[in-house]
Structure 1
Amino acid sequence: MSEVAVIGPGSRVVMHFSIKLADGSAADSTKVHGKPARLTIGDGNLTKNFEDCLLGLKAGDNEEFTLQPEDAFGKPLPENIYHIERARFSSDTPAEVGAIIAFSQPDGREVPGIVREITGDVVTIDFNHPLAGQQVTFAVEILSVEAS
């Protein structure tokens, strides 16, 4: 009889997951698009805390894990809030409260920011992760595990 692979460091995992907020609303789900997530434990795609929750699971397991903000997407950091002159926005990319805008970094990467407030000629942009500060529940359905 063959041994069942369990998730450990370096395991390749295929799974469906959903992220639910404390109020029960869904923030994300792979099932919406019918495309499971594929990842390797330790590759940096997931936070260490989330990976730790997966350790020891095997194909067929369905689990839920509730993580506090500091263990999930972190707490919002004041240094990730920027105030930018409204004149720097164009008609192609207008500053509107709630809009998510991609900002180019000097190294060419794009970082999304959320327009939080517009006061006169100043636009407040929040570069914190949209789920920062939120308690989240991860529900996972492990489809397959390949040990490293």
Structure 2
Amino acid sequence: MSIIDISEVKAGSHVTLHYRLALADGADIVNTFGDKPATLLIGAGQLAEPLEDILVGMKTGDHSTFRLAEGAGFGQRNPELIQRVSLATLRENGMIGEDFAPGDLIEFNAPSGGRYAGVLKEIGETSALFDFNHPLAGQALTFEVHIIGIL
């Protein structure tokens, strides 16, 4: 007699799964199907909350593909998150002199002690323009999931 795992994914579950996150055009962002599966703690922020919400209620063995509308996975793009940072501020934080180029993802220390990141868009004479939106904000995505085990 075998034991059948009938548990469902819920907040606090450790889930072992294969998953693929791709752009609408099919270009993979993350794909574990050809490698070792991932193990995630649901509710710990290891996946974006809307992606975790998709997993809730799934059972061991479930294999599904979800199409997420623009902005459904990582939010809509917010034009207020495109900001200029003075070169003086970058100097004060020891960030001038590093070899930055447009398109680079740059990490900053937050006043609260955490860290956040922005994509460098351009460098001018007195400031640099950064986009602090999540790189996948506003994108339509495909999220494929195969649940292997739930603890």
Scaled to the shorter chain, the TM-score interval is: 0.7 to 0.9
Aligned length: 144
Give the whole-Å Cα distance in 2 for the aligned partners of 1:121 and 1:75: 29
Give the whole-Å Cα distance in 2 for the aligned partners of 1:97 and 1:52: 34
Secondary structure of residue in 2 paired with 1:137: strand
Give the whole-Å Cα distance in 1 for the aligned partners of 2:33 and 2:116: 26
TM-score (structure 2 length as normaliser): 0.80
Shift of 1:124: 0.7
Secondary structure of residue in 1 paired with 2:54: helix
Q: 1:22 aligns with which of 16, 21, 24?
A: 24
Query: What is the 5 A alignment of 1:12-91?
Result: 12-31=14-33, 34-86=35-87, 88=90, 89-91=95-97
RMSD: 2.3
1:25-84: CA deviation from partner (whole Å, max 9, x where unpaired): 11122346x343322333343344322322332222221111123321001112212102
TM-score (structure 1 length as normaliser): 0.81
1:6-34: CA deviation from partner (whole Å, max 9, x where unpaired): 223432211121110011111122346x3
Percent identity over the alignment? 37
Contact 1:101 1:114 in 2 (8 A): yes
1:91-113: CA deviation from partner (whole Å, max 9, x where unpaired): 2x233111111111123322111
Query: 2:150: which partner in 1?
Result: 145
Shift of 1:144: 0.6
Shift of 1:115: 0.6
Contact 2:15 2:42 in 1 (8 A): yes
